[in-house]
Amino acid sequence: MEIRRTILLMIFSFSLLLLWNNWQIHTGKPPLFGPAPASGTGQSAQAEQPQPAAGVPDVPTSNPTSAVEAPPAGLPGATAQAQAQAQTVVVSTDVLRLTFDTAGAQIIRAELLRFPATDRPDQPSVLLDRSPSLTYVVQSGVIGAPAGQSFPTHMSNFRVASAERELQGDTLTVSFVGESDGVQVTKTYTLHRGRYDIGVRHEIANNGPAPVSPSLYLQITRDGSNPPDTSKFYSTFTGPALYSEQEKFQKVSFSDLQKNRHDYVRQADNGWIAMVQHYFVTAWVPPQGTARTNDLTQVQPNLYAARTIEPVGQIAPGASTAVDSNLWIGPQDQQALAALAPGLDLVVDYGWLTIIAKPLFALMTWLHTLLGNWGWTIVALTVIIKALFYPLAAASYRSMARMKQVAPRLQALKEKYGDDRQKLNVAMMEMYRNEKINPLGGCLPMVVQIPVFIALYWVLLASVEMRGAPWILWVQDLSVRDPWFILPAVMMATMFLQIKLNPTPPDPMQAKVMMLMPLVFGGMMFFFPAGLVLYWCVNNILSIAQQYVITKQIERKAAEQAMR
């Protein structure tokens, strides 16, 4: 019984820890578990700008929201002129609407046409933007000019060299041309029907009299504000990430960049860089096999950049060279991301449970192809998992049923021995041996299942497929909380029923702790996505059914034996 008390106290303590963790997130403090939430806008206003890493070329940085930008050091001249001449170019496919700024030929807005905004369902989600509330842009340029000169960067003036604005066939091509100090850069973006990956070609031509050795940088710049769908009750990562064969997937929080406290692979000839947030990602995939330098940095207070810089070699006068890269702006579609670049699907981060979560997601995707509804897919997946774990669950419920049968005898022993804990424990162990009951039999099978259920929790929380996916009637979006709180209420009711089916602990304090647990977990679930709560409800209902059937079987066998 001491073991049961210890286990119950551990469960209750863990519940309180989860509740405290959610309160930390709710009040804007770092969570106890998982990645730190993104820094809010303006939180790092007093931070000092970190120095660039050794060996990393100096990439020009400025606040893209400024009306007139000061010329950056080492690049004399035409920033203000470029801004004065700048215009926006809007192009659309069936899934993307992109806004380019001819100042730098950078992407300053990206609308995901198939993903409604959480606050305005009649409008598409905005991933990239350059507005007072968000700075999140995609940039590129060429550096490495001799002293006193500058090559075209994301702050130089470009002109539009293509006429198409709407996707007519399977591809749409948009080109920009910029020239500075004898070097001409042509940026060509190729968009595809039904796809979020964009082919980007940088053609660098030397129109000057002397050879040049430039470097191309690909950059994603973002402020530290939270995405609009950020929850105060659970934490998801927002910030830069990169991948290399050396260290695989690495992510760095905005707060670590602000403090210049980070460790990642800087020199590589493979991989990618990205900005990650819940459900969506923007990523540059440079050509593989080419040496480059990765740099994650805070470029200004509350403004951060993920960039990769690669030398393109010497270009003789009159010659040119081209570099082909890929750009992803869109949802965390694991299958499409994995096809674009090795490891890119890891932006859907399941942490240390990835080895379990990946097969669960694959099974869930297959079930959806059969059922066509993500809500029923969650129900079917939960049924399959419960069926697989039925032998363990059956052993657990049989043990609890036997414990319930001997509960009156346990109470009698407690009354007999009073406060003599040693004699009480000896008597209980003797009774367990005679009745062939394992006191841990009801707990250990459950412990084995915990990693699977936690992995499924993260699969449902991280899967963009849940966003905007309806189930039935009042549940029209599995990624947001139940608008009528029906599922959380059902979950609390089923948890209470489970407790009633279990043997009542002889210790009154333990009994009170058990009765508090549905309130603690149920209260948390009032603010969790409906898809997660649906999973818990189905799991609880199946557990009740299993426990009821097994308990009745044991009672029937006991009655038959008593009649003999």
- Helix residue ranges per DSSP H, 49-136: 79-85
pLDDT attached to residue 514: 65
Return d(Cα 543, Cα 148) in angstroms, integer.
Answer: 73
Confidence of residue 68 (pLDDT cuts 50, 70, 90): very low
| Residues 275 and 134 sit within 8 Å (Cβ to Cβ) | no
Q: Which residues contact 42 (CB under 8 A, 6 or more apart)?
A: 302
- 434-438, 454-458, 556-560: least confidently modelled range: 434-438
416 pLDDT higher than 60: yes
Q: What is the mean pLDDT of residues 439-460?
A: 70
Q: What is the DSSP letter of 315?
A: B
pLDDT attached to residue 367: 94
The domain 68-345 having CATH identifier 3.40.109.10: the answer here is no
Give the residue extent of every domain in the chain.
68-345, 358-563
Return d(Cα 309, Cα 298) in angstroms, integer.
Answer: 16
Computed over every residue of the chain, the mean pLDDT equals 79
Return d(Cα 462, Cα 466) in angstroms, integer.
Answer: 8
What is the chain's percent helix, strand, coil content, to nearest 5?
40, 25, 35
Q: Is 358 buried (19+), middle (13-18) or exposed (0-12) by CB count in 10 A?
A: middle
Measured CA distances, 339 to 197, 244, 333, 334 (Å): 10, 16, 10, 9
- 12-26, 193-207, 397-411, 513-527: least confidently modelled range: 12-26
User: Would the pTM count as exceeding 0.85?
Assistant: no
Between 499 and 293, where is the model more confident? Answer: 293
Instruction: Say how far residue 121 (Cα) sits from the centre of its chain.
Output: 22
pLDDT attached to residue 440: 56
pLDDT attached to residue 61: 47
| Residues 97 and 110 sit within 8 Å (Cβ to Cβ) | yes
Q: Which residues contact 253 (CB under 8 A, 6 or more apart)?
A: 35, 36, 38, 237, 239
For residue range 368-414, list pLDDT tens digits in order. 999 999 999 999 998 998 888 877 777 766 666 666 667 677 777 77
By three-state DSSP, how is residue 31 classified?
A: coil
217: nearest Cα among 52, 57, 50: 57
> 522 phi and psi, to 5 degrees?
-65, -40
Between 150 and 482, where is the model more confident? Answer: 150
> 410 phi and psi, to 5 degrees?
-65, -40
33 pLDDT higher than 70: no
For residue range 286-310, list pLDDT tens digits in order. 999 999 999 999 989 999 999 999 9
pLDDT attached to residue 12: 47
